[in-house]
């Protein structure tokens, strides 16, 4: 009796065309699967959870209780939201263009330097490396009324009534803008790289056609660096909409009161609410009052505003570059 052969090579099986196509379609997804999983866990899930919790009464101790649109109705009755939104909008409209303009002018100036160019770039970039808390502390002390070096110098120059800076509601937000302008080194380096990437042939051709310095800048340089400008504007707007650390530290230090336990100060917004930004109110609602349902409403609104501003700005830059 003969036994069947089990170790020999049998006829090769050819996969079906449908299975082959399916494998080809799924292969790219295996490479991006880690990224997709990360986005799902750390972006999509928190966002969906924030939307859900915005319809609940939630304090991290008791189980969330569904309250429907109550939190969203209160959003339109909250005077603190209006005040914080106005301050944040002011910072967006003033601070972002000021930083972009200052960084671009500095980059253009440093590109014209022939000697010790690296030294000047390093000096202008160094302030951007300063920690936000330390930089804010230094600026509050420099601009301190009466004893600060800046006001002392202004008085020596004959200024009888120097500004109160962080202690004056009219000057508090401009003082934050000055602080932001001091740290434009990061944006300056990005603009320097973009300017160096503009083809020299375009400037030479424009010069041969009789274009002046302004015309070359307007019709050659600006269109060439417009993607970088869009990046700077979008990241600047998103960052300013989340403006928190400098406003919180400046208010606490300028008021002369130490921040309370848990990092929640009673002086947020000093003086007279002039530095009270939207993220500060979100933080107070969530971590002082523990009204996390309403805090999630504020967070969702901030996300929607940031995304809307990003989309609108991208459309404007596309129209500009056409």
Q: What is the pLDDT of residues 49-74, one digit of tens each?
A: 999 999 999 888 889 999 999 999 99
Alpha helices per DSSP H over the chain: 17-39, 45-53, 70-75, 79-111, 117-125, 132-142, 149-156, 169-182, 185-196, 200-208, 213-216, 222-241, 245-255, 278-287, 292-321
> Do 68 and 100 share a domain, yes or no?
no
The rounded Cα 257 to chain-centroid distance in angstroms is: 28
Express each pLDDT in 237-290 by its tens digit. 999 999 999 999 999 999 887 655 555 667 899 999 999 999 999 999 999 999
pTM: 0.87
For residues 226 and 207, membership in a common domain is answered with yes
Lowest mean per-residue pLDDT among 6-10, 46-50, 81-85, 293-297? 6-10
On whether both 258 and 308 belong to a single domain, the answer is: yes
6 is a domain residue:
no
Classify residue 4: in a domain, yes or no.
Answer: no
Assess whether 222 and 304 both reside in one domain: yes
Q: How many domains does the chain have?
A: 2
Provide the residue count of the chain: 322
C-alpha to C-alpha distances, 127 to 20, 136, 176, nearest whole angstrom: 57, 12, 15
In sequence order, which ranges of 132-256 are alpha helices (DSSP H)? 132-142, 149-156, 169-182, 185-196, 200-208, 213-216, 222-241, 245-255
Q: What is the pLDDT of residue 1?
A: 46
Residue 12 within any structural domain of the chain? no
Domain that holds residue 28: 17-72
The answer to whether residue 185 is domain-embedded is yes
State whether 64 and 185 are in the same domain: no
Going by C-alpha positions, the residue among 165, 114, 121, 120 that lies closest to residue 139 is 165
Instruction: Tell me: do 225 and 265 sit in the same domain.
Output: yes
pLDDT for the residue numbered 25: 87
The model's confidence at residue 231, banded by pLDDT at 50, 70 and 90, is very high
Average pLDDT over residues 36-56: 94
Task: Tell me, yes or no, whether 52 and 131 share the same domain.
Answer: no
């Amino acid at each position: 009796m003969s036994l069947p052969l089990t170790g020999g090579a049998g006829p090769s099986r050819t996969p079906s065309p449908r299975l082959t196509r399916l494998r080809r379609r799924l292969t790219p997804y295996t490479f991006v699967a880690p990224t997709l999983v990360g986005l799902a866990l750390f972006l999509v899930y928190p966002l969906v959870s924030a939307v859900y919790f915005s319809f609940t009464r939630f304090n991290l101790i008791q189980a969330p209780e569904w309250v429907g649109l109550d939190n969203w109705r209160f959003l339109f009755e909250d005077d603190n939201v209006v005040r914080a939104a106005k301050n944040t909008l002011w910072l967006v409209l003033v601070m972002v263009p000021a930083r972009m303009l200052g960084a671009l002018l500095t980059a253009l100036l440093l590109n014209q330097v022939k000697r010790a160019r690296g030294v000047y770039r390093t000096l202008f970039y160094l302030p951007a490396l300063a920690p936000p808390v330390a930089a804010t502390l230094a600026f509050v002390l420099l601009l301190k009324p009466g004893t600060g070096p800046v006001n002392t110098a202004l008085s020596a120059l004959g200024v009888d009534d120097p500004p109160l800076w962080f202690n004056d509601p009219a000057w508090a937000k401009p003082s934050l803008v000055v602080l932001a302008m001091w740290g434009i080194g990061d944006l300056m380096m990005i603009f320097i790289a973009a300017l160096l990437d503009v083809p020299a042939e375009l400037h030479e051709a424009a010069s041969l056609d009789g274009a002046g310095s302004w015309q070359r800048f307007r019709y050659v340089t600006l269109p060439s660096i417009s993607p970088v400008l869009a990046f700077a504007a979008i990241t600047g707007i998103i960052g300013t909409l989340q403006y928190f650390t400098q406003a919180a530290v400046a208010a606490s230090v300028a008021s002369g009161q130490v921040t309370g336990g848990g990092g929640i100060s009673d002086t947020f917004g000093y003086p007279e609410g002039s530095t009270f930004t939207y993220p500060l109110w979100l933080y107070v609602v969530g971590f002082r009052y523990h009204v996390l349902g309403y805090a999630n409403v504020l967070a969702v609104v901030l996300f929607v505003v940031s995304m809307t501003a990003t989309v609108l700005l991208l459309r404007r830059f596309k129209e500009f570059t056409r």
